[in-house]
Amino acid sequence: MCDPVTIMAAATVIGGGVSAYGQIQQGNAAAEAARYQAAVQRNNAIMLDNRAEEERVKGDFEANQKRREVARILGAQRAGAGASGVEMSGSFLDVLGDSATQGALDVAMLRYNAETRARDLEFDADNMRAQSELTMFEGRSAKRASRIGAFGTLLGTASSVSGMWNTHGGGGGKMFGGRLGNSTTAYGSGKSYGSKG
């Protein structure tokens, strides 16, 4: 039958091992969760880039539609003036010029607004990619910290077992399959166990 110190030491070793294993598993889980989250963030960045491109295409389409609309309006004004006998000079040309200018401004504004929306989306996409990198870094750090913590737990366990051994002398050499010589000495205690005197 094992002596109490050996049992306590074995329980401490087992507990330390289980705790260290748990720390490593926790770090692995955190790293896996970070990888998943980073992948989601990268996908979101791709979607934002796609939306930015869609905004530019939409802006071009709307600008072209507006240009055609302005051309129709100017054509209708010229035709109306020609049918009514208005000369293509003076105030009529001013009206045509104002219409053309306003039309050009509308076209430019449509393009500008589309480009602004696209740039905002690209900015969000860049932020999402940066967040993805940070998430991956945090996952790697959690994994690294879990291994350092597990190593510390194992060192603490070894220290605890050594402390039990030194304090109690325990099973002495029995823990390792037999007695050490005729007597077993508790390290650093100066006390000898197992022999008289």
- Residue 8: exposure state from Cβ atoms within 10 A (0-12, 13-18, ≥19): middle
Strand partners, 184: 193
Determine the Cα–Cα distance for residues 98 and 102; give it in Å rounded to an integer.
6
- Report CA 166 to chain centroid distance, whole Å: 48
Q: What is the pLDDT of residues 33-74, one digit of tens each?
A: 999 999 999 999 999 999 999 999 999 999 999 999 999 988
DSSP reduced 3-state for 10: helix
- Residue 170: exposure state from Cβ atoms within 10 A (0-12, 13-18, ≥19): buried
Q: What is the pLDDT of residues 162-190, one digit of tens each?
A: 877 777 665 444 444 444 344 444 444 44
Cβ atoms of 18 and 182 within 8 Å: the answer is: no
Q: What is the pLDDT of residues 72-131, one digit of tens each?
A: 988 888 887 777 776 666 677 777 788 888 999 999 999 999 999 999 999 999 999 999
Determine the Cα–Cα distance for residues 28 and 132; give it in Å rounded to an integer.
18
Strand partners, 193: 184
Domain boundaries, the chain: 4-176
Specify the DSSP class assigned to residue 194.
S
